[in-house]
Amino acid sequence: MDSPLWGTPLGYSLTRLRVIILTMSLGVPAQVAREAGSHAVARSTQVAALICLAAAATSVLAPGLFLLGGVRWWAVGCILPMAALMIVVMARPSVGAKAAYVAVGAVSTFVYTIALLEQTTAYTDTDLFVVALPLMALMLIGGSESDVRIGVLWATIAYAIGDLAVFAAASVAGREFRFDAISLGAYVLFMTLLLFYSLAQAAYRSAHASIMRMLRQQHADELRRALAGELRAELHDTTLSELAAIATAVPGPVPERFRERLQADILHWTEDAHRANAQNSAEEGGWGTTELAQAIAQARDAGLVVEVSGDPAPYTFLHNDARRAIGLAARQCLINVLKHSGQSSAEVMLSASGGAVSLVVVDPGRGFDVGTLRAEGNDRMGLLHSVIERVERVGGSVSVFSRPGAGTSVLMVVPAATEAGSA
């Protein structure tokens, strides 16, 4: 490498690429944005509910602490189970936990309102901020639901039940029931923000995919340039030096050693090409144009980090129908990862043995109960129809390994020499 032309600083380029990647912060792609939005709404409403409950406890304790009439510890005691259940919902937002929160919350609101009204005679009706506090905590349960429509339903039901509890408490305490404007205002605000979040969270996210695609393309370009430098150096050290020697030689017989060098040079290029083809015959068979390669590229464009391991060659040698079926099935698996796993990464593993080609799509996501796969109305129809049935139609088999919280692995196996099927 006697000229800067031939000396591409590969090490420098790759280090630079890493630095470049590490400084990148674009936020999250569409599917993660939905997850992040749901989490943000859930956590913020849960924290807000706990603060409302703390304020309610303070409101019912303060008069007893600072004025005559005794401390209503029992009233605080009825707020605590509600707070405890909210913490349970924060840890595990199951339907049961949410239903328990609403039920216990209604009882808590009833007892709390009675304590409040009996304690302070100036509270002549229920149109009070202090009465609205547990009601707001109740309706905020709607934020714990990832589906906004169901969240609105939860919030509305919880609010209605809470208001019924206040009505009952007012009757028991002998005070006028008045629909309080504060909790109603809070309900309207909450619904507006909830709907706004659901509309806004996925907006503009296609820009994220475009930028990531461009970044990956640039990454590949940089890598190509660096590798081209290596290749140029190789060319310079071999073929170009022979050509230079010929260009400056006096016509006539060539020394035997030079002749051997020429033969070695020719062999170097042609054998290397043969070796490269043997190693990566997937490319020869058009790996880049296969359904699987396209599925991986599409998933990456959508923001999923897909790692590919194993040898793609046996896959590309599959019969067209089998190759297409496996590729499209993998595409569906990657879509499922995007939609359901809550993760931003997946792995595609390719292998071949015993006359069969295997492909595994693995994600470390939230998983699901495999037993529900063939149940009516489950949301995994894509896996059933687009993966299992599609692969079975070309004579293959599919095994799904998953359980809630433990990720999902989908193993597809097709005979290597299959002639099967009308896909």
Among the residues of 120-204, which ranges form H helices? 129-139, 148-173, 181-200
CB of 308 to other proteins, least distance (A): 5
Is 10 buried (19+), middle (13-18) or exposed (0-12) by CB count in 10 A?
middle
The answer to the question of residue 149 lying near other proteins (CB under 8 A) is: no
The answer to whether the beta carbons of residues 118 and 70 sit under 8 Å apart is: no
The answer to the question of residue 339 lying near other proteins (CB under 8 A) is: no
- Closest by CA to 116, choosing from 100, 105, 127, 102, is 127
- Closest by CA to 154, choosing from 111, 200, 194, is 194
Contact residue for other proteins among 98, 175, 205, 319 (CB under 8 A): 205
CB of 328 to other proteins, least distance (A): 21
Contact residue for other proteins among 99, 161, 193, 370 (CB under 8 A): 193
- Residue placing its CB nearer to other proteins in the complex, 31 or 402: 31
The answer to whether the beta carbons of residues 57 and 76 sit under 8 Å apart is: yes
Q: Which stretch binds other proteins (CB under 8 A): 44-52, 165-173, 368-376, 387-395?
A: 44-52
- Residue placing its CB nearer to other proteins in the complex, 300 or 393: 300
Of residues 150-179, which lie at the interface with other proteins (CB under 8 A)? none
User: In whole angstroms, what is the distance from residue 362 CA to residue 319 CA?
Assistant: 24
Q: Which stretch binds other proteins (CB under 8 A): 74-82, 107-115, 163-171, 182-190?
A: 182-190
The answer to whether the beta carbons of residues 194 and 186 sit under 8 Å apart is: no
Q: Which stretch binds other proteins (CB under 8 A): 72-80, 125-133, 163-171, 393-401?
A: 125-133
Which residues are CB-contacts of 171 (< 8 A; sequence separation ≥ 6)? Answer: 177
Residue with tokens 């749901």: 38
Strand order across the beta sheet in which 397-402 lies:
305-310, 345-353, 356-363, 408-415, 397-402
The answer to the question of residue 344 lying near other proteins (CB under 8 A) is: yes
CB of 140 to other proteins, least distance (A): 9
Of residues 224-253, which lie at the interface with other proteins (CB under 8 A)? 224-225, 227-229, 231-232, 235, 239-240, 242-244, 246-253
CB of 43 to other proteins, least distance (A): 5
Total residues binding other proteins (CB under 8 A): 118
The answer to the question of residue 139 lying near other proteins (CB under 8 A) is: no
- Residue placing its CB nearer to other proteins in the complex, 99 or 258: 258
- Which DSSP category does 421 fall into? -
The answer to the question of residue 221 lying near other proteins (CB under 8 A) is: yes
Of residues 273-312, which lie at the interface with other proteins (CB under 8 A)? 273, 276-277, 279-280, 283, 287-288, 303, 305-308
Among the residues of 280-343, which ranges form H helices? 281-284, 291-301, 313-316, 320-336
User: In whole angstroms, what is the distance from residue 45 CA to residue 143 CA?
Assistant: 6
The answer to the question of residue 84 lying near other proteins (CB under 8 A) is: no
The answer to the question of residue 8 lying near other proteins (CB under 8 A) is: yes
- Residue placing its CB nearer to other proteins in the complex, 176 or 221: 221
Of residues 361-420, which lie at the interface with other proteins (CB under 8 A)? none
The answer to the question of residue 107 lying near other proteins (CB under 8 A) is: no
The answer to the question of residue 44 lying near other proteins (CB under 8 A) is: yes
User: In whole angstroms, what is the distance from residue 323 CA to residue 45 CA?
Assistant: 48
Dihedral (Cα; 139, 145, 149, 150), 10-degree rounding: -80
Enclosing H/E stretch for 71: none
Contact residue for other proteins among 1, 9, 40, 339 (CB under 8 A): 40
Contact residue for other proteins among 130, 170, 194, 410 (CB under 8 A): 130
User: In whole angstroms, what is the distance from residue 341 CA to residue 332 CA?
Assistant: 13
CB of 344 to other proteins, least distance (A): 5
